[in-house]
Chains A and B, each alone.
Chain A
Amino acid sequence: DTGVSQDPRHKITKRGQNVTFRCDPISEHNRLYWYRQTLGQGPEFLTYFQNEAQLEKSRLLSDRFSAERPKGSFSTLEIQRTEQGDSAMYLCASSLGPQPQHFGDGTRLSIL
């Protein structure tokens, strides 16, 4: 049973570096979501794709953040010029219906 896969699981980088995360959703799921979660908080919505179209972006998604889903399958989330405040767990979810059904186990980003 292949669920949502995220890579890498952990990323440690210095402030100012660029990082890219990958999410492989469940194959037949056309909807893909990115969330960010910090300690003691629930997941915060970042962006949403239906197939390859990015339909919604949160105000949290500053111009240093970009997400793509070029063929409507896997997705990447890139953060440029990372800052201390970007340290968080980045979660990807996919679904067929209108709510995120299946989450990956996330990429934990630590900024030194």
Chain B
Amino acid sequence: TQLLEQSPQFLSIQEGENLTVYCNSSSVFSSLQWYRQEPGEGPVLLVTVVTGGEVKKLKRLTFQFGDARKDSSLHITAAQPGDTGLYLCAGASGGSYIPTFGRGTSLIVHP
């Protein structure tokens, strides 16, 4: 069973700071997704990456897929309180199309 390790588990920063969170696995992924989840709500899909080395940008968020398609990172520039939430990565591998989720990084951005 593939295992996605997300780090750090918790992150508490001040508004305006930059941050990077990581998603790592020993498995090769056919695709990898990043979601953001707020308390009491379902995850919201932010991005899907499929090509090794791919970089996607969504406003202040930059997503990178590792060259070997085993890892990914999410970088947030000038974080805002509205970025607060649980950031989850999920990936499918081994011929399965069902993504497995990591435990997430819980981000708090203080005003």
Contacts and interface: CB of A to CB of B under 8 A. Distances in A.
Contacts of A99: 31, 33, 45, 48, 90, 92, 97, 99
Contacts of A33: 98
Contacts of B111: none
A23 to B, nearest CB: 11
Interface in A84-111: 91, 93, 98-106
B42 interface: yes
Interface of B: 4, 6, 31, 33, 35, 40-45, 48, 88, 90, 92, 96-104
Contacts of B103: 40-42
Nearest to A41: B103
Nearest to B102: A42
Interface of A: 4, 33, 35, 40-45, 48, 56, 91, 93, 98-106
B98 A42 contact: no
A76 B4 CA distance: 29
B101 A42 contact: yes
B44 A43 contact: no
Nearest to A97: B48
Contact of B44 (A45, A48, A103, A106): A103
Given A40-B103, A42-B88, A99-B48, A105 B40 contact: yes
Nearest to A44: B101
A59 to B, nearest CB: 9
Nearest to B31: A99
